[in-house]
Amino acid sequence: MPPRAGAAGDDNSIAVDLTGSLGRFRLAMSFTVPLSGVTAIFGPSGSGKTSLLRAIAGLHRMEGLVRIGAEVWQDAGTFLPVHRRRIGYVFQEPSLFPHLSVRQNLLYGASRSGRATDAAAARLFDECADFLKLGPLLDRMPSHLSGGERQRVSLGRALLSLPRLLLMDEPLSSLDRTAKGEILPYLETLHATLAIPILYVSHDMAEVERLADRIVLIESGMVLASAPLNEALTDPRLPLARQPGFASVLTAIISGCHMEDGLVELDLGGQPLLVAGSIGDPAGSLRRVRIAAGDVSLSTGKPENSTILNSLAVRIDAVEPLGETEALCFLSLRERADLRLVARITRRSARRLDLKPGMGVFAQVKTVSLASGAEPQQGGLQPTADRLASGARNGG
């Protein structure tokens, strides 16, 4: 779509700059993120994440700017009402219409989004129902569905309304463990195959590790940071790495496989990394790896004769004390300063090895796990994704 005359800014970003109030406390949130991928809006409960998402949707009135690509949804002189903003909103609770069947719920938004032809709409419906495995549920009423099934329907309903932007407000938090595990793979597939940008509100780091490409970090109604996932996680100025159980997340490329050991070899910024699982996946595909800070130990010389498989040549960027006895070491790969990880070590060791910023060391990684099945690439929903994306671009 050519930029509309008078539209400000570039066409490939989402720009949000909003001010308002939530009860007694002030919200002033501003960020710009690319018009693709999953952006996690992350922060503690009550920090204003949901208000931000509702304001972007137009459900909650805040002053300021909301621009999606070339479409201005809100600025000084404009305020598009909710139904004129092409969003897909997945609420915390599934919120299906109780008086409509699953099929009618799915079609509610679809029939109001002005699709080109009936045939194309029907094909899209079938693909979406197929992808979310809703076929057997189509004629049931929402009261006869499980929690996970309901959230799947609400996801499908949002997708079928051909959104230009998907807004998800902690879509997993109302679900129990089993249902969560049931929905997450769908979200991962969406992330991998869908061209529609997603703003994903969460306070659960595990979801962020698996889904997010970027983080907008919110605290007390302010944006603390907006950065790519790896960069935000490993930023010494941000509180993320100080959380218990913290892990760095990096993206690596499958480069080979050791069938006899059940290990797959990844290329992480030019250095090899051996990880269990994903045997048989094609070389060249991207994998997200998770390295817990507590599983990383440092040594000044290249470790030999160790049972630990993976050792990465890294440089120390910063050393920060953590509590009474520990310290966090912020590291970047020797040849790739943009790939970073964090090690949690004792202060005693830091003193003994005289660890200082700028030093080259080796990071021994005890456990590396694959954070998710797949990173963006060709996938099962691709045809749908293309159509959804082109619908989002051309429809109106």
Partner 1 sequence: MLQSGEIIAPIILTLELAATTTLLLLLLGTPLAWWLARSRARWKEVVGTIVALPLVLPPTVLGFYLLIALGPSGLGGLFGPLFGLRTFAFTFEGLVVGSMVYSMPFVIQPIRNAFEAMGDRPLEVAATLRASPFDRFLTVALPLARPGFVSGAVLGFAHTVGEFGVVLMIGGNIQGETKVLSVAIYDYVETLQWREAHLLAGGMLVFAFLIIFATTMVERRSRRWRVS
Window contacting partner 1 (CB under 8 A); options: 108-116, 118-126, 252-260, 274-282: 108-116
State the minimum distance, in angstroms, from the CB of residue 215 to partner 1: 24
Establish if 89 lies at the interface with partner 1 (CB under 8 A).
yes
In this structure, the number of other CB atoms found within 10 A of the CB of residue 356 comes to 10
> Under rule CB under 8 A, which residues in 288-317 are in contact with partner 1?
none
Please report how the helices 177-193 and 147-160 are oriented relative to each other, as an axis angle in degrees rounded to 10: 20
Window contacting partner 1 (CB under 8 A); options: 27-35, 78-86, 329-337, 339-347: 78-86
State the minimum distance, in angstroms, from the CB of residue 131 to partner 1: 19
C-beta closer to partner 1: residue 51 or 310: 51
How far is the C-alpha of 327 from the C-alpha of 349, rounded, in Å?
9
DSSP secondary structure string for all residues of 313-338? EEEEEEEEEETTTEEEEEEEESS-TT
Establish if 356 lies at the interface with partner 1 (CB under 8 A).
no
Of 20, 43, 48, 94, which lies in the binding site for partner 1, with binding defined by CB under 8 A? Answer: 94
How far is the C-alpha of 121 from the C-alpha of 125, rounded, in Å?
6
How far is the C-alpha of 105 from the C-alpha of 63, rounded, in Å?
32
Q: Are 53 and 201 in contact (CB under 8 A)?
A: yes
Instruction: Give the position of tokens 């997993």.
Output: 172
Establish if 79 lies at the interface with partner 1 (CB under 8 A).
no
State the minimum distance, in angstroms, from the CB of residue 68 to partner 1: 14
Establish if 69 lies at the interface with partner 1 (CB under 8 A).
no
Of 91, 125, 131, 186, which lies in the binding site for partner 1, with binding defined by CB under 8 A? Answer: 91
Q: Which of 153, 174, 151 is nearest to 108 (CA)?
A: 153
Establish if 164 lies at the interface with partner 1 (CB under 8 A).
no
DSSP code of 227?
E
The token pair at 218 is 């919110």
C-beta closer to partner 1: residue 112 or 348: 112
Q: Which residues form the interface with partner 1 (CB under 8 A)?
A: 57-59, 81-84, 86-89, 91, 93-99, 108-109, 112-113, 141-143, 145, 150, 157-158, 161
